[in-house]
């Protein structure tokens, strides 16, 4: 009798699992397909550079708007100026490396 009960339970479990197994997951492509109206490479790179925050001249509000930075870290960045490179923020222990990794593509250290 136990063997028959186990077989019945296994059949019920398998029948309930089939709908879940039949579902497929949809993934989005990592890169959008190119279109005819896409910007030229020179236009795209210049607009990306214009949105970078210069750590040598940015205001406290601009630095505070970066992810992982608050008013205290923004003030520390301003106090430590000038920077020869953006990696000086980590090398001089102004911000931790995990915060730097989150903002390194959004900042620049212009020499002036």
Q: What is the pLDDT of residue 99?
A: 95
What are the tens digits of pLDDT across the range 62-90? Answer: 999 999 999 999 999 999 999 999 999 99
* 2 HSE (CA, 13 A, CB side): 0
Q: Which CATH superfamily is domain 47-108 in?
A: Photosystem II 12 kDa extrinsic protein (1.10.150.320)
What are the tens digits of pLDDT across the range 22-47? Answer: 555 555 555 555 554 444 444 444 45
How far apart are alpha carbons 90 and 88 in whole angstroms?
Answer: 5
How many Cβ atoms from other residues are within 10 Å of residue 28's Cβ?
Answer: 5
Beta partners for 107?
53
């Amino acid at each position: 009798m136990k063997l028959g009960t186990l077989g019945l339970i296994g059949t019920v479990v398998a029948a309930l699992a089939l709908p879940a197994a039949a579902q497929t997951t949809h993934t989005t492509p990592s890169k959008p397909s190119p279109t005819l109206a896409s910007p030229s490479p020179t236009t795209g790179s210049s607009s990306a550079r214009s949105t970078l925050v210069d750590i040598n001249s940015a205001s406290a509000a601009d630095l505070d708007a970066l992810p992982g930075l608050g008013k205290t870290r923004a003030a520390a960045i301003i106090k430590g100026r000038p920077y020869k490179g953006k990696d000086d923020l980590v090398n001089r222990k102004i911000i931790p490396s995990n915060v730097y990794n989150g903002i390194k593509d959004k900042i620049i250290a212009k020499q002036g």
